[in-house]
Amino acid sequence: DKAILIKDLKMNFDGKEVLKGINLEIDKGNIIGYIGPNGAGKSTTVKIILGLVEGYTGVVKIFGEDISEEEVYKKRIGYVPEVAETYESLTAREYLTFIGQLYGLEYDDADKKAYKLMDILEIKDVYNSKIESFSKGMKQKVIIISSLIHNPDILFLDEPLSGLDANSVMIIKEILLSLKEEGKTIFYSSHIMEIVEKISDRIILLNDGAIVADGSFDDLKESVHQKSLEQIFNQLTGF
Ligand code: ADP
Ligand code: MG
Ligand code: MG
């Protein structure tokens, strides 16, 4: 089975077609960069795959199962949402052990895993502090940890670098590459190319609800040139 299979996915908001027939087959164990300018439909695609948006047409499967199968969600999927919506009044420890238990872990296992990830991301000193006192980048790290705590097989990240400094970006890059080593599938959505061209096995360029290029970074540049999409592409790279 494919990690992700999407056929003719369409979505309308208020009469506007924001996804215009997306077709995608993603192999297991790949890192996919899903890039495109603001408003292209990246977050909508991710949210539909995760069952967070209704009213679409088309077929969406994860590991061969239709996305309505709840079991797939709890056990195998991790999600870093675009906006960090954490429980501000909780400590990182309270929040992360809560999420771990939601995913079915025992408290002690969740606590150990959360602390280990806090250590890797260099924020273990604030494990017992309230999230409301954290910087934006620290909140983003807590969200990333919450998506990894149950060891998911497939990880969806939506603009995961928000608020992160250069050193933290490097740590995230290393984490994603080590997840790939473990055979995990990663679907990385962003309007910026930062780290995407370095970690992705394949990059998909979305523009105005449609896939306009798909392939390696070099293939992508070639397609962008052929289709005169430089203006869009340059917004993403900032070159
Ligand atoms: P991206 O993540 O690529 O920036 P989005 O998927 O967030 O793009 O949005 C795609 C389009 O759909 C945009 O025009 C956006 O305004 C619109 N949109 C997204 N979510 C909603 C919503 N809940 N209601 C109405 N319009 C929406
Ligand atoms: Mg957006
Ligand atoms: Mg988005």
Work out the end-to-end distance of the chain between its first and last CA atoms, rounded to an integer number of angstroms: 38
**What residues make up the domain containing 28?**
4-237
- Cα of 66 vs centre of ligand 2, distance in Å, is 26
Give tens-digit pLDDT for 18-68: 999 999 999 999 999 999 999 999 999 998 988 778 899 999 999 888 877
Using DSSP bridges, classify how beta strands 185-190 and 31-35 pair: parallel, antiparallel or unpaired. parallel
Distance CA 205, CA 7 (A): 17
Q: To the nearest whole number, what is the mean pLDDT of the chain? A: 90
Q: Looking at ligand 1, which atom is closest to the CA of residue 37?
A: 3
Identify which of 84, 62, 224, 238 has the alpha carbon closest to the alpha carbon of residue 147. Answer: 84
DSSP states along 177-238: HHHHHTT-EEEEEESS-TTHHHH-SEEEEEETTEEEEEESHHHHHHHHHHTT-HHHHHHHH-
Is any atom of ligand 1 closer than 6 Å to the C-beta of 81? no
Say which CATH number the domain at 43 has: 3.40.50.300
If one counts the domains in the chain, the total is 1
Strand partners, 89: none
Is any atom of ligand 1 closer than 6 Å to the C-beta of 209? no
Task: Provide the pLDDT for residue 80.
Answer: 84
Task: Provide the pLDDT for residue 50.
Answer: 82
Is any atom of ligand 1 closer than 6 Å to the C-beta of 42? yes
Task: Provide the pLDDT for residue 239.
Answer: 47
**Contact call for residues 168 and 137 (beta carbons, < 8 A):** yes
Is any atom of ligand 1 closer than 6 Å to the C-beta of 41? yes
